[in-house]
């Protein structure tokens, strides 16, 4: 059997847009991905539908897999001929144990590549408005582990060198040892008034910061119950934050949104919410299998109704594959939503909304929708694909929901409500408990009715079911108690 290959990939600090192009390409071709807690799970959605996921997450008090087991998995999967990605938060060479994993692969002569990533020690401060170097404030920068594998976890660092010789210091994994850090920096020469900032979940929409000095920051952290994952930054350059802070000024900063998903394709709504500074979890994840279509009679229909952009894409992909000239399809085209109309326009086709359609015997419904079949009982139905819950993602979502603090729920369509509830139940999560006291927003009156019918009584609706209207509504109706 031919030996596979391993890519040791840095996922970046959290914001999915910060992964490298080479790292993303590795994920797309992977057959097995071993991923860490600090690698954004949304990156796994770029993998193929048959890719195997293995969680290697580490918490301060427990490890899902020990490093030796991770090394063994990498070797075993590669020797089985697989393309394997080891996905690590930040950069794999900065406290990522990539040297140990590469050595294990080299021992078995397994080919591998190391793909660098953006380190959280640089990215998290920048998202907090702090460059780690500056000509007037900081000419040197160090990254330091604040926890080692000794019994007490307190690394024997060159405290005098750090205190007197380095302007900006980024400590990784150090919240538990913060008093130890501050005491030693002061003891060896750093002024007690030196600014310190902790950046929690840096570059995520859930990012939080806590600022103090070497003299008082430990007490502040205890009072605020600040925890890992956090970067601790020490240095005078932190003073620039007041002038150039930018991420926290985004209009939806502080929003942690759960978005009900019906599509298997990337959500334009989720993308816009992320651009505006929100943290977005799309749930659930769907797995789609295309069905071979018989299009021999397609030119005989007078009306064709597409139920979703995906159905339209699958239909026209089959048209091309079967070498049917689209000009021979004379039917009047209809769509269930403005999003589906847009998908038709992108193919140079003009359609109308389904509200304008009249039932007809020479009508084709492209897509499986029981409600439509009830309203249009004369029409024929063409199912283009089978869509099922991707259960491999359920434990991933469980972890995501535990680590986030959801404050906003969005239902983009009436069809999104029931599948969302069913999928949450499969995760052993009670939807009403999860969303109790949260802001629930429905995109349109039909969606609101479906949400209320599901038990969400205080559902809100923007002026129109569009991305722009939703963002404006969220900005104009801020959450109470959200830190800005």
DSSP 402-434: HHS---EEEE-SGGGHHHHHHHHHHTT--HHHH
Q: Check if 58 is active-site.
A: yes
Helices (H), 299-367: 309-321, 338-345
Helix (H) / strand (E) containing 73 = helix 67-79
Cβ burial, residue 443 (10 Å; 0-12/13-18/19+): buried
Alpha helical stretches, state H, 82-168: 98-107, 120-127, 159-165
Specify whether 323 is catalytic: no
Residue from 5, 15, 36, 279 carrying the catalytic annotation: 36
Q: Considering 22, 42, 58, 250, which one is annotated as catalytic?
A: 58
| Rounded CA separation 387/286 (Å) | 6
Catalytic residue among 88, 173, 382, 467: 173
Give yes or no: 443 in active site: no
Q: Which residues pair with 209 in a beta bridge?
A: 199
CB 331 within 8 A of CB 295: no
Placement of tokens 């802070």 in the chain = 245
Burial of 96 (0-12, 13-18, 19+ CB in 10 A): buried
Q: How far is the first Cα of the chain from the last one, in angstroms, to the nearest whole number?
A: 56
Q: What is the rounded distance in angstroms from the CA atom of residue 148 to the CA atom of residue 239? A: 30
Strand, helix or coil at 317?
helix
| Cα 239 from chain centre | 31
Catalytic (active-site) positions: 36, 58, 173
């Amino acid at each position: 059997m031919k030996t596979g290959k391993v890519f040791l990939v840095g996922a970046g600090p959290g914001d999915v847009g910060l992964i490298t192009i080479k790292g993303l390409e590795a994920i797309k071709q992977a057959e097995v991905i071993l991923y860490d807690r600090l690698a954004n799970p949304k990156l796994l959605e770029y993998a193929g539908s048959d890719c195997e996921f293995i969680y290697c997450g580490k918490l301060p008090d427990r490890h899902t897999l020990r490093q030796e087991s991770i090394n063994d998995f990498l070797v075993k999967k590669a020797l089985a001929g697989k393309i394997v990605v080891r996905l690590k938060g930040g950069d794999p060479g900065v406290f990522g144990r990539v040297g140990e994993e590469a050595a294990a692969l080299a021992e078995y002569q397994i080919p591998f590549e190391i793909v660098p990533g953006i380190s959280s020690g640089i990215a998290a401060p920048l998202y907090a408005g702090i460059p780690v170097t500056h000509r007037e404030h900081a000419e040197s920068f160090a990254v330091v582990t604040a926890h080692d594998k000794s019994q007490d976890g307190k690394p024997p660092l060159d405290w005098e060198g750090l205190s007197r010789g380095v302007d900006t210091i980024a400590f990784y994994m150090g919240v538990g040892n913060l008093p130890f850090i501050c005491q030693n920096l002061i003891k060896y020469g750093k002024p007690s008034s030196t600014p310190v900032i902790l950046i929690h979940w840096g570059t995520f929409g859930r990012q939080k910061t806590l600022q103090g000095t070497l003299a008082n920051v430990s007490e502040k952290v205890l009072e605020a119950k600040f925890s890992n994952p956090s970067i601790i930054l020490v240095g005078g350059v932190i003073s620039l934050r007041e002038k150039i802070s930018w991420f926290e000024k985004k209009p939806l900063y502080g929003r942690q949104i759960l978005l009900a998903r019906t599509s298997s394709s990337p959500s334009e709504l989720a993308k816009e919410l992320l651009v505006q500074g929100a943290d977005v979890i799309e749930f659930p994840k769907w797995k789609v299998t295309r069905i071979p279509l018989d299009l021999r009679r397609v030119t005989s229909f007078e009306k064709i109704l597409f139920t979703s952009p995906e159905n339209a894409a699958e239909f026209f992909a089959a048209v091309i594959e079967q070498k049917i000239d689209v000009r021979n399809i004379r039917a009047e085209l209809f769509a269930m939503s403005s999003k589906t109309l847009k998908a038709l326009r992108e193919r140079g086709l003009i359609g109308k909304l389904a509200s304008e359609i009249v039932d007809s015997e020479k009508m084709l419904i492209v897509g499986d929708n029981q409600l439509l079949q009830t309203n249009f009982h004369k029409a024929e139905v063409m199912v283009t694909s089978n869509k099922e819950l991707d259960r491999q993602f359920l434990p991933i979502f469980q972890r995501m929901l535990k680590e986030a603090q959801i404050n906003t729920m969005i239902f983009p369509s009436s069809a999104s409500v029931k599948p969302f509830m069913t999928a949450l139940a499969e995760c052993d999560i009670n939807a009403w408990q999860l969303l109790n006291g949260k802001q629930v927003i429905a995109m349109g009156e039909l969606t609101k009715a479906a949400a209320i019918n599901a038990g969400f009584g205080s559902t809100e609706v923007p002026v129109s079911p569009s991305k722009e209207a939703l963002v404006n509504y969220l900005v104009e109706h801020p959450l109470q108690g959200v830190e800005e």
